[in-house]
Amino acid sequence: MESLMAYVIGILFAAAIYMMLRRSIVKMVIGLILLSNAANLLIFAVSGMKRGAPPLIPEGASAPLGPVADPLPQALILTAIVIAFGVLAFAVVLIRRAYEIVGTDDLDQMKDTDT
């Protein structure tokens, strides 16, 4: 499954970078979302994907029974998901605000600092 995910991640990165290179600022935001999803999947895939072995400890035991999925990358991804959402929310409001003031969503038109 990991090798299949490698190709999926590659396509996600390609799509994300293509969108981030667009001049429309909305497309850039979509690129940003794609990029954060791609990055999360990247961490998830390279740490090894296990089916049906969540890192949980049954009641009464002091350690999981048998091998479980690696909990550390999961913790990192959890943080990343939440932070990415914070960044996105901020970016979206900022863009809307910028559009109201500048009157365009073309990044090339926004290159001067004083408008």
Query: What residues between 3 and 22 interact with other proteins by CB under 8 A?
Result: 3-22
The yes or no reply on residue 102 touching other proteins (CB under 8 A) is no
* CA–CA separation, 34 and 36 (whole Å): 6
Token output for 47: 């740490």
x-marked contacts with other proteins along 27-46 as a string, rule CB under 8 A: x-xxx-xx--xx-xxx-xxx
Q: Residues near 96 by Cβ (< 8 Å), separated by ≥ 6?
A: none
The yes or no reply on residue 115 touching other proteins (CB under 8 A) is no
How far apart are CB 77 and other proteins at their closest, in Å?
6
The yes or no reply on residue 107 touching other proteins (CB under 8 A) is yes
How far apart are CB 44 and other proteins at their closest, in Å?
7
29 in Cβ contact with 91 (< 8 Å) = yes
How far apart are CB 90 and other proteins at their closest, in Å?
4
* CA–CA separation, 104 and 63 (whole Å): 57
